[in-house]
Each structure stands twice: as C-alpha cells, then as structure tokens.
C-alpha cells in the first residue's frame, strides 16, 4: 500500500501523515468508557472529508492515526475539523461529559504530525505495538492511577 497513489482530476498524490493528539489534561478515563463511540465518530468524520484511515489506534490517553489526506485539504484545517466536530459529537452522545469537561473542551490544544514517505510499514508497526509497550510499562510501574474527578 506504500506505493498506492490516489488521484484527483489532474493530479496523482500520495500524502500520508502520522498524527497524534491527546484529550484535555491527558485524561485516561475517556477512552476506557467511550472508546467505541470515539472510534466511530473519527471514522465518520474522516469519510466526510475523503480522508482514508490507513491505521489508527485509540490509547487510554492519546490517539494515533496514519491517514491519507487529499492535497486540497491542509493538515491543520483537517485537524481543526476533526477535533472540533468529534468533541461536539461526543458531548451530544454523552451529556454527562459536559459536567466533567467544562466549556466543552474535550481535546487539548495542538497535535503532533509527521509526513510518511516510503517508511509506512515502520509507522504501522509502531502504532500496532504502542499498546503492548504501554501495557508492559504499566505492569512495571507501581503507580496507582486515581480518578481526577474524585480528588
């Protein structure tokens, strides 16, 4: 799939990006309870804009996406759309989140993005193995996680 070129009217393109973004305050509780809804929302919003999700994973405190974004869309405009609309959709589906996340702030500001050239397989492997690494590190850690809302 690394060599697959997409096309528009008079353009051949292969614009792939590795994107990582986090919830406000890197809260872990969100993804344990709402992982499936968030996955469906991200898939739906990407399909609306014609963005192909090549690989994606929702971790307890961040989201990894390997996406192919058409050149007519800038990465920053797509991320503004994705984070803004997904936050609104999550608050619409789960009204109780409004009280936990005041002012409808679901995602933290900013994101990490890097272009993916022909090393797509390496990035796919990294995304797939990220959860295994986090689980292993959690087993080594003796830190007890507390609910940030129960003080």
Q: Show the domains of the chain with their CATH numbers.
A: 13-140 (3.30.70.1290)
Q: What confidence score (pLDDT) does residue 151 get?
A: 53
* Cβ atoms of residues 82 and 106 within 8 Å: no
Structural Rg of the chain based on CA atoms: 17
Q: Catalytic residues, which ones?
A: 126
Q: What confidence score (pLDDT) does residue 25 get?
A: 79
Q: What confidence score (pLDDT) does residue 75 get?
A: 95
**Digits of tens for pLDDT over the chain (151 positions)?**
445 777 767 677 788 999 999 888 777 766 667 888 899 999 999 999 999 999 998 888 889 999 999 988 999 999 999 999 998 888 888 877 777 666 667 888 999 999 887 677 777 787 777 777 777 777 766 666 666 566 5
Cα torsion 64, 69, 71, 74 to 10°: value is -50
Identify the CA nearest to 111 among candidates 78, 134, 88, 72: 78
Tell me how many helices (H) and strands (E) the chain has.
4, 6
For 29-49, the DSSP string reads: HHHHHHHHHHHHHHHHHHHHH
């Amino acid at each position: 799939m690394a060599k697959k070129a997409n096309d528009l009217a008079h353009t051949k393109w292969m614009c792939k990006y590795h994107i990582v973004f986090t919830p406000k305050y890197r809260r872990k509780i969100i993804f344990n309870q709402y992982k499936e809804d968030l996955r469906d929302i991200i898939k739906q919003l990407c399909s609306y804009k014609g963005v192909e999700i090549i690989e994606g994973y929702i971790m307890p405190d961040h989201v990894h996406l390997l996406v192919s974004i058409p050149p007519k869309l800038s990465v920053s405009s797509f991320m503004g759309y994705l984070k803004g609309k997904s936050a609104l959709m999550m608050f619409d589906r789960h009204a109780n989140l409004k009280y936990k996340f005041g002012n409808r702030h679901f995602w933290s500001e900013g994101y990490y993005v890097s272009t993916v050239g022909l090393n797509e397989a390496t990035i796919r492997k990294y995304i797939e193995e990220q959860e295994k690494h986090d689980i292993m590190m959690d087993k080594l850690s003796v830190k007890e996680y507390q609910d940030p809302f129960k003080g």
